[in-house]
Amino acid sequence: MDAYLLDWVNLLLRWAHVIVAIAWIGSSFYFVFLDNSLTKPVDPVLKDKGVDGELWAVHGGGFYHPQKYLVAPKVMPEHLHWFYWESYSTWLTGFALFTVLYLFNAGTFLVDKSVYDWSATAAIAASLGFLVVCWLVYDIICRAFGQKKNGDLIVGLGVLAFVVFASWLACQLFAGRAAFLLVGAMLATSMSANVFFWIIPGQRTVVAQLKAGQAVDPVHGWRAKQRSVHNTYFTLPVLVAMLSNHYGWLYTGAHNWVVLVLLMLAGALIRHSFVVRHKALVQGKRVPWEHAGVGTAVLIGLAIWLAPPPPSAADRLAAAQPVTFTAVKAVIDQRCSLCHNAQLASKNVALHTPELIKQHAQMVYQQAAVLKLMPLNNATQITDAERTLIKRWYESGAPIH
């Protein structure tokens, strides 16, 4: 019953996390598009009001006319919407899900003794340290170089170097699946911290200055804009890091940290292509699709690099031989039944009888042969040849006689 209730908590937290993340990313993407699509107003009335940019858009059967004021409107509007709970809710649900799935089961999900042999307690402390240290290092880089000449380039290169190092270190310490997720989580933590420590406080200061009749300091808007732009570049790397941990063939290789870095780099390049596209369309310039092209080329290169090698003559000879259920059951008994048996049916899957193996054949095939997610962290040391054996057995109809 405890496992059943935990599965419900997992489902509901994951669902909530996806919902609020969609809300946050959607609003973030929209405002980045809006900022890069605004045109200078020509109407003297708008200029007199302090409008710096405007956009006409049509959607849902109506016309919209958003306007942006720099640094702020002359009079504080009565109704002002704040965008921050989308960010906070995303981080809170994500951390809760990380706690339920990884921290409560650190010995299974965080620790892979073939990668690094340490205690579950130490792994938990290190994983939390990753989240905190990433934010501190990133924030220091922004503070130190953000306002210098070519500051955006320097900050970008500094953050890239740190993310590469963090990806390498995570993959040396944690199970591959956890390492991929942890790197995504540390970037997501920095995104929410940007909102909590810089964007919202800066906006509150501007509002307070307006209400007090004081001159508005433009530095608050500049800082908020800088961190907001950083967040939009983090978005696709975070998403691909979170999604990729569901595909064992990505994180089980010897150079899994390189795979992670290249996946995130491709995401950042593709996101940059869309950001500069908005500016190019407004300015009537050529759309620079080459950034997306490079990102796509990186993904294609990864697919080629990670592709399984062609079968050898010995493999082809073995494949020509029929697979017996006796051989498959021997593999399942040795590699799978430790967690899937009459006493411990993990995820409500038991594999201790031929009938149960037949019943769950598709799941065994997907998890062990295709996705290579199971056994978790390859705790039972299943071999590629044994995965291939399961694959051939299932694709031949999964016979048990």
Based on the fold, state whether residues 108 and 196 are members of the same structural domain.
yes
Q: Is the pLDDT assigned to residue 359 strictly greater than 80?
A: yes
CB 329 within 8 A of CB 354: yes
Count of domains for the chain: 2
| pLDDT of amino acid 112 | 92
347 sits in the region (left: phi over 0; alpha: psi -120 to 50; else beta) called left
Query: Mean of the pLDDT values across residues 102-128?
Result: 94
Residue-wise pLDDT tens digits, 133-149: 999 999 999 999 988 88
- Residue whose structure tokens are 């697979």: 323
266 and 149 inside one domain: yes
Count of CA atoms in the C-beta half-sphere (13 A) of 388:
12
Is residue 45 included in any domain, yes or no?
A: no
Residues 116 and 260 in one domain: yes
Q: State whether 112 and 225 are in the same domain.
A: yes
Using the 3D structure, point to which of 256, 279, 306 is the last residue of a domain. Answer: 306
**Is 50 inside any structural domain?**
no
Residue 61 in domain: no
Q: Could you tell me the pTM of the whole model?
A: 0.87
The terminus-to-terminus CA distance of the chain in angstroms comes to: 34
Question: 298 and 324: one domain?
Answer: no
203/283 same-domain check: yes
pLDDT above 50 (res 401): yes
**Model confidence pLDDT, tens digit, residues 227-269:** 999 999 999 999 999 999 888 889 988 899 999 999 999 999 9
Q: Answer yes or no: do 281 and 325 share one domain.
A: no
Give the structural domain span for 78: 2-37+71-306
Name every residue whose Cβ is closer than 8 Å to that of residue 13 and which is 6 or more positions away in sequence: 93, 96, 97, 100
Same domain, 135 and 19: yes
The stretch 205-223 carries a mean pLDDT of: 88
Q: Is the pLDDT of residue 182 over 60?
A: yes
Domain boundary residue among 290, 306, 322? Answer: 306
In tens, the pLDDT along 72-104 reads 888 888 888 899 999 999 999 999 999 998 999
Kindly report which listed range (9-23, 47-61, 298-312, 334-348) carries the lowest average pLDDT score: 334-348
pLDDT score recorded for residue 87:
96
Establish if 66 belongs to a structural domain: no
- Of 275, 291, 306, the position where a domain reaches its end is 306
Q: Is residue 102 part of a domain?
A: yes
Mean per-residue pLDDT, 154-178: 96
Give the model's confidence band at 286: pLDDT under 50 very low, under 70 low, under 90 confident, else very high.
confident
Greater confidence (320 vs 92) lies with 92
Whether 107 and 235 map to the same domain: the answer is: yes
Residue 287: the pLDDT is 83
pLDDT beyond 50 at 226: yes
- 279 with 250, same domain: the answer is yes
Residue 354 has pLDDT above 60, yes or no: yes
Angle at 9 between CA 7 and CA 15, to 5 degrees: 100
Residue 51 backbone phi and psi in degrees, to 5: -70, 125
What are the tens digits of pLDDT across the range 6-50?
A: 888 889 999 999 999 999 999 999 999 999 999 999 999 999 988
Q: What is the mean pLDDT of the chain?
A: 91
**318 falls within a domain:** yes
Percentage of the residues of the chain whose pLDDT score is greater than 70: 100
Q: 352: how many CB neighbours lie within 10 A of its CB? A: 17
CA dihedral 325, 331, 333, 334 (to 10 degrees): 160
| Predicted local distance difference test score (pLDDT) of residue 377 | 81
* pLDDT given at position 321: 79
Say if 13 falls within a structural domain: yes
Rounded to 5°, the CA angle 138-141-146 comes to 120
* Residue 53 domain-assigned (yes or no): no
336: Cβ contacts below 8 Å, ≥ 6 apart: 351, 364, 368, 374, 375, 380
Same domain, 290 and 319: no
Classify burial at 320, counting beta carbons within 10 Å of its beta carbon; exposed 0-12, middle 13-18, buried 19 or more: exposed
Residues of the chain with pLDDT > 90, as a percent, come to: 61
Mean pLDDT to the nearest integer, 268-278:
92
Does position 1 have pLDDT exceeding 50, yes or no? Answer: no
For residues 340 and 228, state if they share a domain: no
